[in-house]
Amino acid sequence: MTAPPSYARWPALGRERLAKHVTLASRVTILTSLAVGLTLAVASVAVYVTLRIELESSLDESLIQRAQATADTPLVQSAFDNNIPTQFVTASDVRLAVLTPAGTARGERHLIDVLSSSELAVARGGRSQSLRTVVVDGDRSRLVAVRQPGGTALVLAQSMEPTYRSLERLALVAWSVGLAGALLAGLAGWGVATNGLRPVRRLTRAAEHVARTDDLTPIAPAGTGTDELARLTAAFNMMLASLAASRRRQVQLVADAGHELRTPLTSLRTNLELLAQAEQHGGLPDQARAELLADVDAQIDELSTLVGDLVELAREEPMAHDLEAVDLVDVVEAAVVRVRRRAGGVRIDTRLEQWLVVGEPHLLERAVTNLLDNAVKWSPPGGVVEVRLTGGELTVRDHGPGIAAGDLPRVFDRFYRSVEARSLSGSGLGLAIVRRTADRHSGQVSAANAPDGGAVFTLRLPGSGVH
C-alpha cells in the first residue's frame, strides 16, 4: 500500500527548487528589499502610532480645558434659557449638552442620544470627569463630561474626523515612501550584487574554462589585495598552481618510468630472443642456458621491484585510518633480518632503543629496508653498516665512498642516480620512498657524509620512548 504524500514537505521542496533557480544576485536583491521594506514599515507604524497617541492626548487636554472653562461661566445656562444656539458659547466644531442628576438633558439631540452612565456619574458627583470616544451623528468624536457648580454635568463632544483624515494621509504617505524605499533598495542591492559578484563570475568562468580545456593559467587578481575577493582569487590561483605542479609530477613520473622501464624490458627481450634463436639451432650449452635464464630471472626481479616502487610513489591517498602504535625497534629488526639475507659479506651492526611511533608498519619497514639496502650496496666487501636508534632518530651509516657534494641535494629525488650509481643495480626510487614515508609520518630524513668517510642517513620520526 502506497503511503499518502507528505504535504508538510511541500513548502520545503518549494524552497529547495527556488534556491536552485534563483541566482545569488537575485537573493541579495530580495533580501535587501525585504530588509529595507521591513525597516521602513516598522518605522512608519511606530511614527503613525506615536503621532496618533500624541494627537489624541493633545485633543483630550484641549477638550478638558475647554469644558472646565465653559463650566465656570453662566453663559451655557443663559443660552439655554434664551434659546441661543450653543455655537455662540463654544467653538463651531464642538457639540454641547447639560445633564442633570435626575438623568434629564438639554442640548443637541445627537449628543444626548449617546450619553451614558459615565456622564450620569459625573452629574451625580460620583466622578469629577469622564472621557471616551463615541460616534455622534456618524462622526467619531471624543466626549468629555465635567461637573458644573450648579450640580449638573457639562458634556462637550468634538469630532475627530479631521484628525483621522490627517492620520490616514500620513499613513498613505508613509506606505508610499516605504514602497519607494524598498524598490530603490532593491535596485541598489541589484547593482551592488551585480558589481560585487563580477569577480566571482570571472572565477566561475575560469573554473569552467579549466574543466573544459585543462588550461591551468592563473587569472588576474581581483579586489584591493586584502579583501575577501582578492583572497578568493589568490586561493583559486594557488589551487591552479597545485594542480599544475601535480600534473607536471605525473608527466615527469610517466616519462621517468618509461625511461627506467625501457632498459630492463629491452634487456629481457634481447635475452628471450637469443634463447628462442638458440632453440631453433639446437639450443645453448647447459651452462650458457643457465646463465641466460639467471640473467632473465634477475631482470624480472628488477622489473618487479621497479613496478612496485612506481606504484608506491604514485599513491596520493592520505594516511590510512587504521593507524597503530608501532615499536620502531621491531620495524628495524625485521628490516635487518630481511637485508642480511642478501647482504653478502657485509655485516650489519645494530644498537637500538625503544621508540613508539603511530603510523603504518609496512611503510616504515619498507623505508628502513631501503636505507639498509642502499648502505649495503655502497659498502665495501666485508664492510660494516652501523644502525643506531636513539630518541626517535634512526641513523644508517656505511663505510663506502660517501656522497658527492653535488649529489647530496638530489639523493631523495625520484629516479635520480649519480654517475657512480648507474653501473649498479637499482631504480633510483628507494630513497624517494624513504622521504615519502617520512613526510606521511610527519618526520624528516636527511643525508650527509661522515667525517671519517662513508654516508650517513638520518630518519627522525615523532613519537615517545618507553620507560
Q: What is the pLDDT of residue 351?
A: 94
CA distance readout (Å), 242 to 11, 91, 230, 236, 319: 43, 89, 18, 10, 20
Render pLDDT for 195-233 as a digit per residue (tens, 0 to 9).
777 777 887 888 888 888 878 888 777 655 667 777 877
Share of the chain above pLDDT 90, in %: 16
Asked if pLDDT for residue 292 goes beyond 90, the answer is no
The three grid cell numbers given for residue 120, joined into one nine-digit string: 450620569
Asked if pLDDT for residue 368 goes beyond 60, the answer is yes
Asked if pLDDT for residue 240 goes beyond 70, the answer is yes
**Are residues 223 and 230 in contact, defined by beta-carbon separation less than 8 angstroms?**
yes
Burial profile 60-69: b = 16 or more Cβ within 10 angstroms, e = fewer: eeebbebbbe
The candidate with the shortest Cα–Cα distance to 443, out of 451, 435, 452, 432, is: 435
Span 30-57, mean pLDDT? 85
Span 334-361, mean pLDDT? 90
Span 385-411, mean pLDDT? 91
Q: What is the pLDDT of residue 184?
A: 86
The residue type at 194: T
Out of 241-255, 322-336, 346-360, which region has the weakest mean confidence (pLDDT)?
Answer: 241-255
Asked if pLDDT for residue 411 goes beyond 60, the answer is yes
For the ranges 75-84, 263-272, 377-386, the one whose mean pLDDT is highest: 377-386
152: exposed, middle or buried (Cβ count in 10 Å: 0-12, 13-18, 19+): buried
Beta strand 139-147 pairing with 105-107? unpaired
Asked if pLDDT for residue 7 goes beyond 50, the answer is no
Q: What is the pLDDT of residue 88?
A: 47
How far apart are the C-alpha atoms of 329 and 29, rounded to whole Å?
66
Q: At a CB cut-off of 8 Å and minimum separation 6, what does 32 contact? A: 185, 186, 188, 189, 192
Asked if pLDDT for residue 70 goes beyond 90, the answer is no
Asked if pLDDT for residue 324 goes beyond 60, the answer is yes
**Are residues 354 and 465 in contact, defined by beta-carbon separation less than 8 angstroms?**
yes
Render pLDDT for 294-317 as a digit per residue (tens, 0 to 9).
878 877 876 776 677 667 666 655
Render pLDDT for 137-160 as a digit per residue (tens, 0 to 9).
888 888 999 988 878 888 888 888
Q: Read off the pLDDT band of 356 (50, 70, 90).
A: very high
Q: At a CB cut-off of 8 Å and minimum separation 6, what does 194 contact? A: 25
